[in-house]
């Protein structure tokens, strides 16, 4: 039995009275990975913020709901596009920041395991300023995965990683977040086709689904059906105005 809920968002969003998107009807099924793709600026990060109940710059006319009618924000771990690492804390302190903010005793042993799993053990006591962009992103991923929440909202969490590390981190995230309700924003068709139970394409006119191979993720990168789906998705994304 999982307490990971299904989530829906329906509605329109305006910035300075002009529609950014209209008629969006997004369903994120319980306990599965949904990948959200779409042109830059179409509103993907905004959707994550709306799900979390955070401030946005525009006006949302619609509704956000978990299928158990409980609040989403307090049950969600969120990895923003910017890593949001606190520069005065070292990597380990950043990874346990959630517990510290909740005035809980941090689980340092779990933190060190997570830091090891993102390949940063040698940097556990370094400040973020001593880390490369890709290392900082892995540190932010470790902090997100530390939070054992039923919902994970991830905004391009692997975008700064080299191809090999990216595949490793995708595997790690898929393992740690198994059974959680995950919404992953990505620009990478290969990533979406590898990780997604479903793909949602956001356009100004709403959400369109994208067909995936009838196999369970995480899919092998060299699976012919997965390769075919990712090539078709890339062609489609190039043609979207
Ligand atoms: N802080 C802000 N102030 C004003 N407008 C904003 C702000 N943040 C975003 N926007 C506007 O909201 C729109 C949607 O932004 P959002 O970040 O949700 O897009 P996105 O699809 O996630 O883009 P990307 O793929 O480039 O990350 C943008 O077109 C931008 O004009």
Residue 188 lies in a domain: no
Domain that residue 64 falls in: 1-69
- pLDDT value, residue 240: 77
Q: Would you give the DSSP letter of residue 130?
A: G
Residue with tokens 């949904």: 34
Whether residue 132 is contained in a domain is answered as yes
How many Cα atoms occupy the beta-carbon half-sphere of 151 within 13 Å?
24
Shared domain check, 63 and 84? no
Q: In angstroms, how far is CA 6 from the centroid of its own chain?
A: 15
Domain check: are 31 and 94 in the same one?
Answer: no
Give all strands (DSSP E) within 120-241, no chain letters: 151-155, 181-185, 198-203, 206-210
ipTM: 0.95
pLDDT of residue 2: 59
Tens digit of pLDDT for each residue in 78-96? 999 998 999 999 999 999 9
What pairing do the DSSP bridges indicate for beta strands 33-37 and 151-155? Answer: unpaired
* Residues 172 and 99 reside in one and the same domain: yes
In a domain, 135, yes or no: yes
- 141 occurs within a structural domain: yes
Domain count of the fold of the chain: 2
Residue at which a domain ends, from 69, 101, 124:
69
Within a domain: 206: no
Q: How confident is the model over 40-62, as pLDDT tens digits?
A: 999 999 999 999 999 998 999 99
Same domain as 81, residue 64: no
Angle at 138 between CA 136 and CA 141, to 5 degrees: 115
For 141-169, what is the HEC assignment?
A: HHHHHHCCCCEEEEECCCCCCCHHHHHHH
Atom of ligand 1 nearest to the CA of 48: 18
Indicate whether residue 212 lines ligand 1 (CB < 6 A): no
* Cβ 17 under 6 angstroms from ligand 1: no
Q: Which residues of the chain have pLDDT under 50?
A: 1
Ligand 1 atom 3 nearest Cα: 57
Atom of ligand 1 nearest to the CA of 202: 21
Nearest CA to ligand 1 atom 26: 40
């Amino acid at each position: 039995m999982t307490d990971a809920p299904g989530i829906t968002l329906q509605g329109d969003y305006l910035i300075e009275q002009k529609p950014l998107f209209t008629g969006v009807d997004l369903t994120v099924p319980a306990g599965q990975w949904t990948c959200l793709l779409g042109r830059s600026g179409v509103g993907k990060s905004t959707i994550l913020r709306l799900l979390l109940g955070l401030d946005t710059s525009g006006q949302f006319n619609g509704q956000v709901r978990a299928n158990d009618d409980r609040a989403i924000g307090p049950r969600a771990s969120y990895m923003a596009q910017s890593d949001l690492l606190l520069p005065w804390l070292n990597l380990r302190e950043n990874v346990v920041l959630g517990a510290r903010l909740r005035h809980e005793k941090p689980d340092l042993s779990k933190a060190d395991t997570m830091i090891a799993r993102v390949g940063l053990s040698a940097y556990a006591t370094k400040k973020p300023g001593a880390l490369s962009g890709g290392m900082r992103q892995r540190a932010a991923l470790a902090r997100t995965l530390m939070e054992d929440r039923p919902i994970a909202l991830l905004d391009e969490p692997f975008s700064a990683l080299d191809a090999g590390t990216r595949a490793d981190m995708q595997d790690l995230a898929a393992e740690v977040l198994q059974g959680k309700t995950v919404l992953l924003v990505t620009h990478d068709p290969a990533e979406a086709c590898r990780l997604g139970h479903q793909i949602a394409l956001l356009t100004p006119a709403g959400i369109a689904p994208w067909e995936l191979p009838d196999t369970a993720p995480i899919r092998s990168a060299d699976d012919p059906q997965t390769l075919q789906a990712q090539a078709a998705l890339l062609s489609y994304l190039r043609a979207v105005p």
